[in-house]
């Protein structure tokens, strides 16, 4: 079966593009947005609407394969590709990419991704590959098209082409609350999310505290709240909080001071396990690897059970490999839109597993329902340690999308086995 046409449609995502630099430097919340001037190139406001492009392949038999181009909330930060705006990229996809895809046989997901990952350059990015968001959406459509041509689940195609088996059990789901970290946590506890609540600790003054006291207070509350609301003692989630480098700010990236502070958070989280994502952001890749590796080793040496999750500067497949090789974190977030094609996501998950490093198949609140569904199939095909509930920060919607699709795959797998 072949691709006979490629059609694009502009879309919205489940959240926003936010200028991380402006927020870190003190942009104040103003209702549902931020006051102040943007500081990252391409932004016209500190917060602006998230945009997507739906890429639809029309197949020979009339079926439509579909993927969504989307970029992370904090586009343009920590070495990521710039702001992704639909009107800038739809003409390029239609004029430069579509002709290379029309007529392609749908024999192999990997082979299609070789075309969409590397055979042409993005003129707007000069010497770089296509924008990661475009490669992300194209690869989703590639997977859907091959699955439709073979009458298989997308998860089955991933497992087959990467020498794996479709998971026979659910992958733990991690929910994120955004700034609504109290009511959002209640939702997660009621729904019995496996991992929670993210909490968006991206500002020292309002969320962390200049001595870390605000975060300590929140984790203490969260641990007690789970015990108060959980239906029974069998519900024992992992606490996972994203700090966006703010702990590094208050301790000037001093490893031992950071580790001592994390030990106090571990006690506050008891009896629940604690993951800390992004304790530092050193401002560039190599020093970030060194600093996270030092924090990880120090925690291990001292017997502190807090797990470090790498995020900032761990953007590409090459980055994931380097972070894993240097043990720069106990767990690596594989931030799916940042890796470009979802073929890179699958390879990153499998590389982490081969190195004994936790694989968190993440992404961003600023995705779509379609990218979340396709990512769920990738996860079920290569079995990471956890997967992000997405898109959005409202908890209910993202959790529903990922949970329901995962259970469809599980039930269909039992029927087909």
Which residues are catalytically annotated?
335
- In angstroms, the Cα distances linking 360 to 64, 143, 310, 388 are 30, 21, 10, 8
Whether 370 and 67 have beta carbons less than 8 Å apart is answered as yes
User: What is the C-alpha separation between 56 and 68, in angstroms, rounded?
Assistant: 9
- For residues 169-198, one letter each, b for 16 or more C-beta atoms within 10 angstroms of the residue's C-beta and e for the rest, the string is ebbebbbbbbbbbeebbbbbbebebbbbbb
SS3 410: helix
**DSSP characters over 231-270:** SSTT--PEEEEE-TTHHHHHTTT-HHHHHHHHHHHHHHHT
**Cα end-to-end span (Å), the chain:** 26
Whether 348 and 324 have beta carbons less than 8 Å apart is answered as no
The contacts of residue 20 (CB under 8 Å, 6+ apart) are 40, 74, 77, 78, 202, 244
User: What is the C-alpha separation between 307 and 299, in angstroms, rounded?
Assistant: 8
Looking only at the bridges linking them, the beta strands covering 274-277 and 238-242 are: parallel
């Amino acid at each position: 079966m072949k691709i006979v046409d490629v059609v694009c449609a502009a879309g919205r995502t489940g959240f926003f593009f936010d200028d991380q630099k402006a927020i870190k430097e003190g942009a104040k919340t103003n209702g549902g947005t931020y006051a102040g001037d943007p500081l990252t190139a391409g932004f016209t406001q500190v917060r602006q609407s998230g945009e997507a492009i739906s890429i639809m392949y029309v197949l020979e038999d009339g079926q439509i394969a579909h993927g969504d181009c989307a970029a992370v909330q904090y586009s343009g930060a920590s070495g990521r590709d710039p702001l992704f705006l639909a009107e800038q990229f739809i003409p390029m996809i239609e004029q430069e990419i579509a002709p290379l895809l029309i007529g392609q046989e749908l024999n192999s997901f990997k082979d299609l991704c070789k075309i969409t990952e590397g055979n042409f350059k993005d003129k707007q990015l000069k010497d770089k590959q296509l924008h990661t968001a475009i490669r992300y959406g194209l690869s989703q459509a590639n997977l859907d098209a091959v699955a439709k041509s073979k009458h298989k689940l997308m998860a089955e195609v991933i497992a087959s082409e990467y020498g794996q088996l479709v998971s026979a059990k659910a992958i733990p789901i991690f929910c994120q609350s955004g700034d609504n970290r109290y009511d959002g946590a209640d939702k997660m506890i009621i729904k019995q999310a496996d991992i929670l609540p993210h909490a968006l600790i991206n500002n020292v003054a309002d969320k962390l505290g200049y001595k870390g006291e605000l975060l300590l207070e929140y984790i203490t509350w969260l641990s007690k709240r789970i015990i108060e609301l959980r239906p029974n003692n069998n519900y024992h989630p992992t606490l996972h909080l994203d700090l966006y480098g703010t702990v590094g700010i208050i301790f000037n990236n001093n490893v031992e001071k950071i580790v001592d502070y994390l030990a106090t958070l571990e006690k506050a989280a008891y009896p629940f396990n604690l993951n800390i994502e992004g304790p530092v952001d050193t401002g560039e890749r190599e020093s970030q690897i060194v600093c996270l590796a030092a924090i990880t080793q120090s925690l291990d040496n001292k017997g502190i059970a807090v797990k470090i999750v790498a995020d900032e500067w761990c953007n590409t497949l090459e980055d994931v490999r380097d972070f894993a090789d240097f043990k720069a974190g106990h767990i690596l977030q594989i931030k799916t839109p940042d890796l470009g094609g979802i073929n890179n996501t699958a390879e990153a998950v499998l590389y982490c597993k081969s190195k004994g490093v936790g694989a968190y198949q993440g992404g961003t609140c600023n995705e779509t329902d379609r990218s979340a569904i396709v990512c769920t199939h990738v996860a079920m095909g290569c079995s990471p340690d956890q997967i992000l509930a997405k898109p959005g920060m409202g908890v209910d919607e993202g959790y529903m999308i990922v949970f329901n699709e995962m259970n469809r795959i599980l039930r269909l797998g039992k029927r087909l086995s």
